[in-house]
Structure 1
Amino acid sequence: MNFSVHFDDETIARLNRAVARVGLTRNRVISLAVQDWLARNEEKDWPQALKNHFSNPAPELAEDTLDFQAWREALPAEDAGPRW
């Protein structure tokens, strides 16, 4: 989909200098910037298996009990330093 975005003259000048330096098109830089912004700002959600597990008042009775140990792989190693 195409649409127009309007920038002030100083922003256009800065963008032109940046694309000349890195060798990308203005459209590509703008597209990458929007994708990066969305990745950082989109609403995060819990995995469906976890939502299903906690929506059940007695999850231990469910046939497909959630394996919490499998989630440990996503945690940083103990010696990975601070987690802030």
Structure 2
Amino acid sequence: MKSGSGLVPQLAYKVPEAAEALALSVATVWKLVKSGELRSYKVGSSRFIPVAALTEFVEARLAEQPIPGCCGNHPDFT
């Protein structure tokens, strides 16, 4: 069942959809999946990336990178 109607929230994306959501190439997302940096699971021959894994990936990248010109203790990032 597709969630395109908006009635059912999408809980996971296939790799090309996840790549689009992250604004990355499909090849880059595959590398992240294979390295374990981006959690995923397989059903049959299809690979899925949970929405929560996408959020965790972005939050981890934000935590690694200081805000340019900031003192490092910005209240939104503590």
TM-score (norm: length of structure 1): 0.33
Larger helix proportion, structure 1 or 2?
1
Output the TM-score relative to the length of structure 2: 0.34
Larger radius of gyration: 1
Which of the pair is proportionally richer in strand?
2
